[in-house]
Amino acid sequence: MKIKTLLLLGTLAMSNYYYCQNNEKPVDAGTFSGNIQAISQYYQADSLINAALPDHIMGFNGFTNLNYNRGNFSAGVRFESYLNTLEGYPTTFKGTGMGYRFANWKNEDLDITIGSFYEQYGSGMILRAYEERQLGIDNALDGVKVKYNPYKGVYLKGLVGKQRHFFNDGLTNGNGVIRGFDGEIDINELLDSLNDSKFRLTVGGSFVSKFNDDNNTPDYILPKNVGSYAARFGMRYSKFRFSGEYVYKINDPYPDNQDERFNYIYKNGEGLLFNLGYSQKGFAVDLSAKHMDNMLWRSTNVSVGPTDLMIGYLPALSKQHTYNLAATLYPYSTNARGEVAFQADIMYKIPKKTKLGGKYGTSIALNFATSYVPNRTFINDSLTRNSYTTTPFSMSDSILYQDFNIEIKRKINKKLKFSLNYYNLVFEDRAVLVAKHHELIQAQIAVLDLTYKINAHHALRFELQGLWTKPSKETITLSNGENVIRKQDQGDWVFGQIEYTFSPHWYVAVLDQYNYGNSVPEQRLHYALISSGYIKGPHRFSIQYGRQRAGVFCVGGVCRAVPASNGLTFTLTSSF
């Protein structure tokens, strides 16, 4: 398959070359496009931060996408290389070879893909095949996907395939087979009388099933076929919008080594997600609510990595933070067993040329997100192994996460602007196990981000962050014999960064994270880093050297642990 795909693309490339050389360009010779990314990291020893130091000393992750398009036809391949994979990425990524290849044909009504593809039904709870390279996630489906638009306003999708499981000198799929169907109707498109109506309505539904005969336990009879269905709607009227989705999954027992109450249980799963929003110029509010219980499902019943062979996506109800201390120390990670979550976003821009808004106006964003363990009644049912009962949006008093934050942005004059942020976090690490001390952590974070534009091509950006945790109930004895009350987790942090931009090509930044408030003086360490980069059009090259703190990197409630490291990192990205 690899050789045939390469020969096909090579033939297309040579055809274009021949036409160009002989000035015989056809009416539609087709076009090539693609992108490249390469990251290499050199590791060095650093016992103070327990830095990762693999035997191979240097890690390398790289990929190249090459796509061809001609009329209704398109095809593409992705060449990947992990020699050896960077620390913190899945160890199932290794070697060099083809990781993705597809061919596609489409017209106005029909769209057919064979080979590798990504897809999502609704919010993704029932099905989401996607790639998040920063997290090392790639659960692309390998098979056939069809989209069909039989009538205006009616959209149908169908697919069958296997999921990418790991990469070892090429793509290797899991054993499970995924089958899915999705339909959506745009009522306003369907009915001519509603074309110009301010009220918009779409309805949709999905069915997804898996087949796998993986069964490595002699204790239970595991189902080989598992099905799930979903229904959704979306409404909009003038400045208001409201959407909802319900997903139901039949029993899908899976091993759980951390809590026997969830180990190989046959309980059905369900999820509910609602969103209500209002927006106008200068003001917007968004409210969300989610109930999710036992909705984790994979195309296998064998224990695999945390993000391997995931069929559905567990959506997060929280703001995705970008500032370092808020994003990496206590990030939100969707609870796989289930949660009841709520979120509210309010955005308001104080008009310009007012006392509070100033000359250019002032933007204020408020966010509140919280998540609780569902209220469950556990039952002793060794025969059916349903384990517990629960009802939608019934939550216990066991908090998983709470985040209140506010952001204020203001432009003072043509040269100076700032962003001021405050976060108040409650983080139950006994549920996610990412902090140094597994406990209920309460933290406050403040951030000042200041940018000064020197002239049209030069700018300075200053960033200062602080994080403070509460005292714990634990007393510890220091090396000098003194007894002190330990602050929660690693105590207090400060982060500082200075970035100088030479527009449009160069930038250089220096930063430091300092754990100045650690209860143990020997662990009050600096994590200094210097980085620089060059940008020209679609090409970007960067280099950085220094310490990187161990932490957690999350995107959309899905996370991966990042080990501490010390060394040199090169990054190259380009597109064409």
How does pLDDT run across 430-476, given as a tens digit for each residue? 888 888 899 999 999 999 999 999 998 999 999 999 999 999 989 99
pTM score > 0.95 for this model? no
- Spacing of C-alpha 217 from chain mean position: 32
Q: What is the mean pLDDT of residues 58-70?
A: 96
How does pLDDT run across 259-316, given as a tens digit for each residue? 888 999 999 999 999 999 999 999 999 999 999 999 999 999 998 988 899 999 999 8
Are 60 and 40 in contact, with CB atoms under 8 Å apart? yes
The answer on pLDDT for 136 being more than 90 is no
Domain ranges (residues) in the chain: 90-254+296-312
DSSP-assigned beta bridge partners for residue 76:
67, 102
Are 314 and 557 in contact, with CB atoms under 8 Å apart? yes
Q: By percentage, how much of the chain surpasses pLDDT 90? A: 78
pLDDT of amino acid 557? 79
How does pLDDT run across 512-540, given as a tens digit for each residue? 999 999 999 999 999 999 999 999 999 99
Q: What's the mean per-residue pLDDT of the chain?
A: 92
The Cβ-side half-sphere exposure at 461, using a 13 Å CA radius, reads 14
Local confidence band at 558 (pLDDT 50, 70, 90 cut-offs) = confident
Q: What is the mean pLDDT of residues 90-119?
A: 95
- Tokens 């021949």 -> residue: 18
The answer on pLDDT for 1 being more than 60 is no
Cα–Cα distance measured from residue 255 to residue 304, given in angstroms and rounded to the nearest whole number: 10
How does pLDDT run across 535-557, given as a tens digit for each residue? 999 999 999 999 999 888 787 77
Q: What is the mean pLDDT of residues 410-438?
A: 93
pLDDT of amino acid 91? 86
Q: What is the Cα gyration radius of the chain?
A: 26
> What is the SS3 string spanning 306-339?
CCCCECCCCCCCCCCCCCHHHHHCCCCCCCCCEE
**Residue 27 DSSP class:** T
Local confidence band at 387 (pLDDT 50, 70, 90 cut-offs) = confident
Cα–Cα distance measured from residue 516 to residue 520, given in angstroms and rounded to the nearest whole number: 10
Cα–Cα distance measured from residue 54 to residue 317, given in angstroms and rounded to the nearest whole number: 36
Cα–Cα distance measured from residue 267 to residue 385, given in angstroms and rounded to the nearest whole number: 7
The answer on pLDDT for 15 being more than 50 is no
Q: By percentage, how much of the chain surpasses pLDDT 70? A: 95
Which two three-digit tokens encode residue 210? 């898996």
**Residue 557 DSSP class:** T
**Which is it for the CA torsion 233, 236, 237, 239, positive or negative?**
positive
Q: What is the mean pLDDT of residues 356-363?
A: 92
* Pairing status of strand 416-428 against strand 471-477: unpaired
How does pLDDT run across 311-351, given as a tens digit for each residue? 999 998 999 899 999 999 998 889 989 999 999 999 999 99
Sequence-distant (6+) residues with CB within 8 A of 134 are 553, 555
pLDDT of amino acid 7? 45
Which two three-digit tokens encode residue 535? 């940008």
Q: What are phi and psi of 38, to 5 degrees?
A: -140, 130
pLDDT of amino acid 3? 47
pLDDT of amino acid 25? 52
pLDDT of amino acid 17? 46
**Which is it for the CA torsion 358, 360, 361, 365, positive or negative?**
negative
Which two three-digit tokens encode residue 232? 């959704």
Long-range contacts of 540-543 (CB under 8 A, 24+ apart): 540/571, 540/572, 540/573, 540/574, 541/570, 541/571, 541/572, 542/570, 542/571, 543/568, 543/569, 543/570, 543/571
Are 232 and 243 in contact, with CB atoms under 8 Å apart? yes
